[in-house]
Chains A and B, each alone.
Chain A
Amino acid sequence: MAEYAIELRNVSKHFGPVVAVDHVTLSIRDGEFFSLLGPSGCGKTTTLRLIAGFELPTGGEIYIGGQLQGETPPYRRPVNTVFQNYALFPHMTVYENVAFGLEMRRVPKDEIQRRVREALEMVRLPGMENRRPNQLSGGQQQRVALARALVNRPKVLLLDEPLGALDLKLRKAMQLELKALQERVGITFVYVTHDQEEALTMSDRIAVMNEGRVLQVGTPEEIYERPTCRFVADFIGETNFLSGRVKERRPKEVVVLVDGSVEVLVAADREVGVGDEVTIAIRPERISLHAKPPDPRALPGRVEERIYVGTDIRYLVRLTEQTVLSVRQQNPGTDAMIRFSPGDTVYLHWRLPSARLLTE
């Protein structure tokens, strides 16, 4: 029956007049690494707290392992949480922290000992049992928090921006480690983050949230390659937006008149009618620049600025009066690469599927 580890059905949470979570429906599969991604205040942390039981939903239903949760208090839910600030008990040693959950569940003493040791080994912190949290580095505290949750072998592990307080390098290392750990223990992870790169790196599936709503659920590739709305396209990575009106529908393509002057061809992967207002999204790295038109579809533009950013060269190219596109050319580091200068006329070109038609 429990095909899904967690199911939210139409869940809402109001704080007074503020709607933090707005009719969210989600199904998280068993053993999945699932991320809730969105800007701060989008409702992702509240969603997590609703699953953990720290907050009760104003409306809707939450199922964990097929069981309706209702008003079940946090201590009777088969989930454990890794908190953003770790929430390690400052008056207990590392051992006492990790053993706390087992002790509360009256696990026999010798089993507690064994499992705590195993958990600390798993997060690569053996020999730290008698330290206090304030004697540990941020990364070590993070591992203790992880061990403290995992030692209970929960059905689902909830993680609330657990890497947020770490510096960039450590964070990158921990991302890979967490992902490997999740694959090893096979526990469902629900991971809250505002860092799109983190979500793309680690997740099996991602739910992008904004203003309390889930906008799109999909694999990292789906989310990046086929965003369904402007917010998702904009929030994940860098995107150029061209707005225009549908001029003509062909069997496989749509012709859009951008800013009333430039015709752009897009794959027809959704239903639009002639005259509809639409937006075209195109990633900067999918556009190539040419001195001469490589294809009749290529669009002419004028280079406004060239910015050197190390791995790439970034150009700002004016397409129309209203629209400037950002274009990234990889920097291969040889003189072979053609460089354009401000004022040059260039031709912009991309493969047809790279441009996405958005209706909103």
Chain B
Amino acid sequence: MNWFSEHINIKSLWIKCKSCGSSVFQKAFIENLYVCPKCQHHHFIPVYERIAMLADKGKFKELWEDVSSEDFLDFTINQQKYSEKLSITEKKTGNRSAFIAARIRMNGRNVNLGVIDFKFFGGSMGSVLGEKFFRLAMDSIKRKRPLVVVSASGGARMQEGIMSLMQMAKTSAVLSLMDDAKIPFISVPIHPTTGGVSASFAMLGDVIIAEKGALIGFAGPRVIEQTIKQKLPDNFQKAEFLQECGMVDMVVHRKDLKDTIARILGYLCK
């Protein structure tokens, strides 16, 4: 063992790309927004770094961060209560829900931003997500600010049963009011966006910008494979495939996301 390996933890300095396997210096990887500089594979980016990447420096005010979930169905899986799992997740993530709502500035423009935290119950949509989405959109209407929502979600929060299904309707309801008020809504589905979130607000953007390589679909690939009993093609449900099918307006590299959103808002906000 030499001095270097004794004093520096080499493992934490280097990140191995999940896609191409090449080793990337951690600092460079983070500066590159968690995108592999060699193969451009977009890795998971923590939710607050996602916000930092979209908001102008210091221009971020979080809203309703204390709204939290309730175990109203007494949902229990293998003796573990939903309420217990919630407190563990809250401790682990430091957040009280899967949806961060905020007022930010984006290239100088006032924007309402919502971001789903995939680390919180797989970004699943329960009562809290629906409620915060509704409030954020109402706030957009009131303040005449565009709404931008970045989604990454496995779908509905099963532990909230039918109430999570109702959030699909609730979020769509407020978007009908956004239409009446002519307030722009830009939806940014990132990896992965499926189920109840894709079948409601994520696919209702005035403009839909998918992040490069993101898996986006109604049913998850596992469910489809089980239903049709065949292997799915490689690029199936990838952002690029959705663009080919005509379901999203564009596919954007993470580094271009902020400027692209800001440019489109320039067209939509008068």
The judgment on whether A and B are partners is no
Residues of B within 8 A of A (CB): none
